[in-house]
Each structure stands twice: as structure tokens, then as C-alpha cells.
């Protein structure tokens, strides 16, 4: 999918704006806090049904307003696709393709794929395992709807099993048949998730290793590994062994909802032993591997969103990435920069089409 036009109404710091964009490179330029990143987030919203930066929808409504609307016109294979996102305080979020509203937001995932590289990516290193699981799950869900439905089912069953355990903790009578029902369902979908993640990481690592080696100059190695409780014991035995403890604490301690993905540099934890430069390189390689993996699975290039890229890489590595963009490796690209002249000059020198938009206080200056 290629974005032709995006409009925002009452979204974050924008009153109203409409931007017609290039199918190649688009630069959003201006000082910090002017709204450049918010435009990228609007594109991300239309892809993933949520903000990259703030998952609470109502907090993305402009101050003192009651709603926001994001609309995008995309170039489809046969005809333009119009996507609508509307959020009103206290109401259910509305997502439409054309004039038809989705019954479930999950139906939209995979229609428009995006990859966003942001300074906030450091959360993948420093946050807990949930952040890394969500990142991996999003990648797989962008090309595998069955996996997304399996995740949704797993989480629903987990909520029910936890409610059962919570009742036991509060003195309810133990009902072995009810527990067996929840366990059987959890095991079935949990093992399926485990198989998908195992297959994914084996494929993804090959792409990641190649990109990391290129960006780092081949001077070091980085490792990306999948860690699961199911590596050591089957799911059924894990649940049986943990039941005694879970009756007292009131929630499920074993399963794929506890999986993690380890990031290492020279076989040591990236969080503790990686320099700032190594961490930045790792995260860039991770996101570009996401792009390449989705492209290989869908046979279509995602939209690449680069937020404040000059904060993440040195001049040499930025030049390498920009040259790849000029070679068409990454398709449609959106980049933010605080320097209003740097990016336009770079692309003009290489005679590559670039639309530049200067943003000031939520308004398009030129």
C-alpha cells in the first residue's frame, strides 16, 4: 500500500491538516514539539489501529476537544482505499475501510503495513518482556491473521483461567472439571503460539544478522534469541507443576505469556554491556529486519517511518541508510528532522524525488 493523502482533525497538537504526499520520500521538518512525529503517528494509527507512542486513545485527542479523526487515502492494487479512524471520548473507537466499519479491529491488521523507527525503541531493551513480546507478535500478525486470532483466543482463555484461580484464592471450592476445560484450551493455543514464534525467530535471525553485520561494519556480532518455559517442559506438565502455587497467588505463572526475547552483543546482555552506539545499531537492525521480513512474507514493501533518525546513527551509517532509500530498497518513506535543509539537500544532490513539509505549531508552513 502507498499513502496518497492523510488528514488529521483534533489529533494531538493538530486542529486540522491535510497533506498530499509522495510515493517516494517525504520529509517532515521543523523544531522539536511542532508536530512532526504526530504526523508519523497518524500514519501508524491507520496501519495498526493505535498510536505507537500513547496506547490510551482518548489521550491523543487535542486538548479541550471531544474527538479526533484520522483519514488516509491509499493506493490499492485496483482502486484507492480510504481508511477512517475516529475516537470520541467515552465511546468505542471507529475504524472503517471505505464506508464499511470493521466489526473487529483485528480484521484491519495487515492491510497497511508500517515499520516505525523511533528514539522510543530503547524501550525494547530496557522494558520488561511484555514489550518485546508485543513487538514480535505485531510483526507476525502483520502477515499472519491466524496467528493474531490465536493470540486473541489465548488472552481470553488466560483471563478466564486467572479468574478461576482468583476465586480459589478467595475461598471458592476447587472444581477440577472447570480447570481442566481452561487448561485444555490454554495448552492448545499456547503450543500453537510457541510453534509460530519458534519458526519466526529462526527465519528472522538470518535477516537480522545480515543487516546488523552491514550496519556495524562486521566488527562484532549480535544475538537475538527466543526464550520460553516450553523449551524445557511441555505445557501440560508446566500447568500441573505450578497449580499448587497458583491456587494461593491467584493467577497463571506458566505459559507463552511469560516468553521473552533476549538481545545480546558478543553473547552478553545488550542492556548491561552494550554501548550506546551498539544499542542504537542493534535497534536499527531489528527494525530494518522487521521491514525485510514483512516484505518477504507479503511480497509488498511496508511504509517506512523514520523519526529523528539523526539522533540514532552517526553520519556514516545515516548516509548508508539514505543511499539505500535512494536505490528504492525501502519504497515509500517518511522522515522527520529538526534541520530544515539537511534532508532536502541530500536528496536533491542525488536527484531523488523528495517532498518536504515544514511544520510549525501543528500547521503546515510550506
In this predicted model, what pLDDT tens digit does every residue of 11-52 receive, in sequence order? 999 999 999 999 999 999 999 989 999 999 999 999 999 999
More confident residue, 53 or 327: 53
The pLDDT value given to residue 257 = 97
Burial class (CB in 10 A: 0-12, 13-18, 19+), 279: buried
19-54: b (≥16 Cβ within 10 Å) or e:
bebbebbbbbbbeeebbbbbbbbbbbbbbbbbbbbe
Q: How many CB atoms lie within 10 A of CB 338?
A: 14
Residue 148, SS3? helix
The pLDDT value given to residue 181 = 94
**In whole angstroms, what is the distance from residue 249 CA to residue 245 CA?**
7
Ranges of H-type helices in the chain: 36-48, 123-126, 129-141, 145-169, 176-216, 235-249, 270-273, 276-298, 315-326, 342-349
Q: How confident is the model at residue 366 (pLDDT cuts 50, 70, 90)?
A: low
For every residue of 97-126, DSSP letters joined together read: ETTEEPSSGGGTTTSS-EEEE-GGGGHHHH
**In whole angstroms, what is the distance from residue 61 CA to residue 223 CA?**
40
The pTM of this model reads 0.93
In tens, the pLDDT along 237-284 reads 999 999 999 999 999 999 999 999 999 999 999 999 999 888 988 999
Asked whether the beta carbons of 197 and 228 are under 8 A apart, the reply is yes
Percent of the chain with pLDDT over 90: 77
Residue 260, SS3? strand
Flag whether pLDDT at 78 surpasses 80: no
The pLDDT value given to residue 17 = 95
Query: Which CATH entry fits the domain spanning 119-299: 3.30.565.60, 3.40.50.2300, 1.10.357.20, 1.20.1050.90?
Result: 1.20.1050.90
Edge to edge, the sheet with strand 303-306 lists: 114-117, 303-306, 333-337, 25-29, 354-360, 363-364
Percent of the chain with pLDDT over 70: 99
Q: How confident is the model at residue 186 (pLDDT cuts 50, 70, 90)?
A: very high
At 67, list the grid cell: 474527538
The pLDDT value given to residue 50 = 95
Flag whether pLDDT at 312 surpasses 70: no
**In whole angstroms, what is the distance from residue 72 CA to residue 9 CA?**
12
Asked whether the beta carbons of 26 and 136 are under 8 A apart, the reply is no
Residue in this structure with the C-alpha cell 486542529, named with its chain if needed = 15
Element (DSSP H or E) covering residue 363: strand 363-364
Work out the angle at residue 124's Cα, subtended by the Cα atoms of residues 275 and 49, and round it to the nearest 5 degrees: 145
Longest dimension (CA), the chain: 75
Q: What is the DSSP letter of 226?
A: E
Flag whether pLDDT at 154 surpasses 70: yes
Domain boundaries, the chain: 119-299
Amino acid at each position: 500500500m502507498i499513502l496518497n493523502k492523510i488528514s488529521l482533525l483534533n489529533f494531538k497538537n493538530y486542529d486540522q491538516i491535510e497533506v498530499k504526499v509522495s510515493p517516494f520520500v517525504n520529509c517532515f521538518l521543523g523544531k522539536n514539539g511542532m508536530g512532526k512525529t504526530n504526523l508519523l503517528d497518524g500514519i501508524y494509527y491507520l496501519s495498526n489501529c493505535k498510536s505507537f507512542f500513547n496506547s490510551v486513545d482518548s489521550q491523543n485527542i487535542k486538548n479541550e476537544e471531544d474527538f479526533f479523526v484520522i483519514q488516509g487515502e491509499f493506493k490499492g492494487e485496483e482502486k484507492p482505499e480510504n481508511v477512517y479512524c475516529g475516537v470520541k471520548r467515552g465511546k468505542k473507537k471507529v475504524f472503517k475501510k471505505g464506508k464499511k466499519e470493521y466489526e473487529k479491529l483485528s480484521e484491519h491488521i495487515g492491510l497497511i503495513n508500517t515499520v516505525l523507527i523511533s528514539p522510543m525503541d530503547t524501550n525494547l531493551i530496557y522494558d520488561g518482556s511484555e514489550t518485546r513480546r508485543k513487538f514480535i507478535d505485531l510483526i507476525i500478525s502483520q502477515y499472519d491473521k491466524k496467528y493474531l486470532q490465536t493470540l486473541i483466543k489465548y488472552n481470553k482463555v488466560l483471563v478466564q483461567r486467572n479468574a478461576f484461580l482468583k476465586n480459589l484464592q478467595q475461598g471458592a471450592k476447587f472444581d477440577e472439571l472447570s480447570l481442566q476445560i481452561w487448561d485444555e484450551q490454554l495448552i492448545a493455543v499456547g503450543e500453537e503460539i510457541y510453534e509460530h514464534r519458534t519458526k519466526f525467530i529462526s527465519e528472522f535471525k538470518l535477516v537480522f544478522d545480515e543487516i546488523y553485520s552491514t550496519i556495524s561494519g562486521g566488527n562484532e556480532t549480535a544475538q537475538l534469541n527466543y526464550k520460553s518455559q516450553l523449551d524445557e517442559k511441555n505445557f501440560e506438565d508446566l500447568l500441573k507443576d505450578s497449580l499448587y502455587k497458583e491456587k494461593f497467588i491467584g493467577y497463571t505463572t506458566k505459559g507463552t505469556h511469560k516468553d521473552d526475547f533476549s538481545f545480546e552483543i558478543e553473547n552478553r546482555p545488550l542492556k548491561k554491556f552494550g554501548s550506546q552506539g551498539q544499542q542504537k545499531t542493534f535497534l536499527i537492525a531489528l527494525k530494518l529486519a522487521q521491514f525485510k521480513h514483512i516484505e518477504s512474507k507479503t511480497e509488498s514493501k511496508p511504509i517506512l517511518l523514520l523519526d529523528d533518525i539523526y539522533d540514532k546513527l552517526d553520519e556514516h551509517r545515516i548516509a548508508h541508510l539514505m543511499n539505500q532509500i535512494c536505490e528504492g530498497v525501502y519504497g515509500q518513506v517518511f522522515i522527520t528532522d529538526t534541520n530544515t535543509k539537511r534532508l532536502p539537500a541530500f536528496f536533491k544532490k542525488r536527484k531523488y524525488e523528495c517532498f518536504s513539509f515544514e511544520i510549525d505549531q501543528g500547521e503546515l508552513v510550506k
